[in-house]
Amino acid sequence: MREHFKPILGFFKREFYGFLNDKFSLFLCTLAPLLLGLFIWAVFSQSFVRSAPIGVVDLDKTPLSQELTRNLSAIPAISVTRSYSSLSEAKDDMSSTQIYAIVVFPKGLESHSKKGVLTEIPIYYNAQLMLVAKSIEGAFKQLILTSNVKAKLGKNLIQTHNIDAALAKSSPILMQITPLYNINNSYAQFLLTGILPCSLIMLVILCVINSLARDEADVGFVKGKKSQMPDGIHARLYILTKVFAYAGIFSFWWGVMMLFFHFLGFSFRGSYITLYIGALLTILAYSSVGVFAYAILKDHTRALAVAAIYCAPSFAFAGLTFPVNSMGNFASFWHIILPISHYLKLYVQVANYGIDFLSALKTMCELLPFLLFLSFGILIYRKREAKIEDE
């Protein structure tokens, strides 16, 4: 019995020391997730768009236009930093992104307002900068709505002599918009919960491919280097040891990520155990794809290139920034073949809706077909192993 387990124990020992001596793999499993997480958090830590610079073209130069300018500056999302005498002058600064929007107060704005004549206030903003554009658009709508009510309130107060009646007549319909799950409308919560998992799975597949390639001839571009797959160890044990070792390492980093989300105050209504099962399946799914890619290509560089192409658009096709039912056929197909898409759907279901394990089981089952790639990879290795034995 001892003789039977001796090569297995020797293999485990060899793998452990091989991992410790591989500085690149050690970096990917220790510092890389930490540095990546801190970098992404630093980029999006502000959570809200604040004091986005805008310009004003005041062609009216009346107390009303000056009041509207002050009201614009009072909105936290924007800040009036520049005033222009003409629209053409303002466009140059907008083209160089010194300002994000231009507001034009037309001539006769105050007089038209007093006479009840409909007046348009042109607003130009760069819609390509989506997060900033949405915040600026919302700020302008808030300003116009408030200004319209204020303009009507004085006239209606003279007619009704009652402030409540005048207010009701000025704004007969009031909006009650209640944001759910992300109460503060923080884009950090929406982005971090998507970008961090997408980044983590790239490290998973990279580590698995690098671990397999460490024992093969193509690593380091050393000519004449032979395969170092140990004698007496079958392909199944060889691959599963590597896959589950990295699954354990990145399960730890998943736990750190969840603690980080909790520290940031992101709401979580479901069970962490349910979500972890989904996360573990996702990690194993990407490990399986990595094993299959390397087994097929037999080349470290090509396998990494394929993995990069496969994983790079993960966040774009995950269905968080753009609804899946509005995607084209290619985008929908790419969404389906990405395990992270199913994990993020599970995250939304568990974290936001608080669904139980049985309800989440359907989404988890969507991850199971990806594990077939692990079986295919092992079969390819076993076939290669049998070929070597025949020789």
Q: Where a domain ends, among 102, 137, 170?
A: 170
pTM score over 0.75 = yes
Q: Are residues 222 and 334 in the same domain?
A: yes
Is residue 186's pLDDT more than 70?
no
Output the six-digit token pair for 356.
Answer: 């139980």
Q: Report if residue 176 sits inside a domain.
A: no
Where does the pLDDT of residue 335 fall: very low under 50, low under 70, confident under 90, or very high at 90 and above? confident
User: Which has the higher per-residue pLDDT, 79 or 226?
Assistant: 79
Burial status of residue 348 (CB atoms within 10 A of its CB: 0-12, 13-18, 19 or more): middle
Q: Are residues 128 and 22 in the same domain?
A: no
Q: Are residues 84 and 141 in the same domain?
A: yes
Q: Are residues 164 and 191 in the same domain?
A: no
Q: Report if residue 178 sits inside a domain.
A: no
Is residue 238's pLDDT more than 60?
yes
**Each residue's pLDDT tens digit, 370-389:** 999 999 999 988 887 666 55
Q: What is the CATH number of the domain that holds 110?
A: 3.40.1710.10
Give me the pLDDT at residue 51, please: 72
Is 108 within 8 Å of 119 (Cβ atoms)? yes
Q: Where a domain ends, among 142, 170, 198?
A: 170
Give me the pLDDT at residue 357, please: 92
Q: Report if residue 177 sits inside a domain.
A: no
Q: Are residues 381 and 260 in the same domain?
A: yes
Query: Rounded CA gap, 319 and 347, in Å?
Result: 12
Is residue 309's pLDDT more than 80?
yes
Helix 187-213 vs helix 272-297: crossing angle, to nearest 10? 40
Q: Report if residue 369 sits inside a domain.
A: yes
Q: Report if residue 316 sits inside a domain.
A: yes
Give me the pLDDT at residue 385, please: 65
Q: Establish how many alpha carbons lie within 13 A of residue 165's alpha carbon, considering only the half-sphere containing its beta carbon.
A: 8
Q: Are residues 103 and 224 in the same domain?
A: no
User: Which has the higher per-residue pLDDT, 325 or 367?
Assistant: 367
Give me the pLDDT at residue 182, please: 57
Give me the pLDDT at residue 221, please: 40
Top mean-pLDDT range of 21-25, 35-39, 222-226: 35-39
- Please give the average per-residue pLDDT across 180-196, as a whole number: 74
End-to-end CA distance of the chain: 29
**Each residue's pLDDT tens digit, 273-303:** 999 999 999 999 999 999 999 989 888 889 9
Q: Are residues 88 and 136 in the same domain?
A: yes
Give me the pLDDT at residue 8, please: 66
Is residue 248's pLDDT more than 60?
yes
The mean of the pLDDT values for the chain is 80
Where does the pLDDT of residue 223 fall: very low under 50, low under 70, confident under 90, or very high at 90 and above? very low
User: Which has the higher per-residue pLDDT, 67 or 5?
Assistant: 67
Give me the pLDDT at residue 224, please: 46
**Each residue's pLDDT tens digit, 81-104:** 888 888 888 888 887 778 888 888
Q: Report if residue 327 sits inside a domain.
A: yes
Q: In terms of residue numbers, what domain contains 12?
A: 2-44+186-390
- CA distances 99 to 78, 105, 215, 235, 302, Å, are 10, 17, 55, 60, 44
Q: Where a domain ends, among 107, 137, 170?
A: 170
Q: Are residues 229 and 156 in the same domain?
A: no
**How many domains is the chain partitioned into structurally?**
2
Rg (CA), the chain: 29
Q: Report if residue 91 sits inside a domain.
A: yes
Give me the pLDDT at residue 292, please: 94
Is 266 within 8 Å of 181 (Cβ atoms)? no
Give me the pLDDT at residue 158, please: 60
**Each residue's pLDDT tens digit, 164-174:** 555 555 555 55
Q: Are residues 222 and 252 in the same domain?
A: yes
- Please give the average per-residue pLDDT across 16-20, as a whole number: 78
Q: Report if residue 85 sits inside a domain.
A: yes
The maximal CA–CA distance of the chain, rounded, in angstroms, is 102
Q: Are residues 320 and 347 in the same domain?
A: yes
Give me the pLDDT at residue 382, please: 81
Strands 123-125 and 101-105: antiparallel
Give me the pLDDT at residue 166, please: 55
Q: Are residues 376 and 290 in the same domain?
A: yes
Tell me how crowded residue 356 is: count the other CB atoms within 10 A of its CB.
11
Where does the pLDDT of residue 181 fall: very low under 50, low under 70, confident under 90, or very high at 90 and above? low
Q: Percent of the chain beyond pLDDT 90?
A: 28
Is residue 257's pLDDT more than 80?
yes
Q: Are residues 165 and 81 in the same domain?
A: yes
- CA distances 119 to 98, 113, 136, 249, Å, are 28, 7, 21, 63
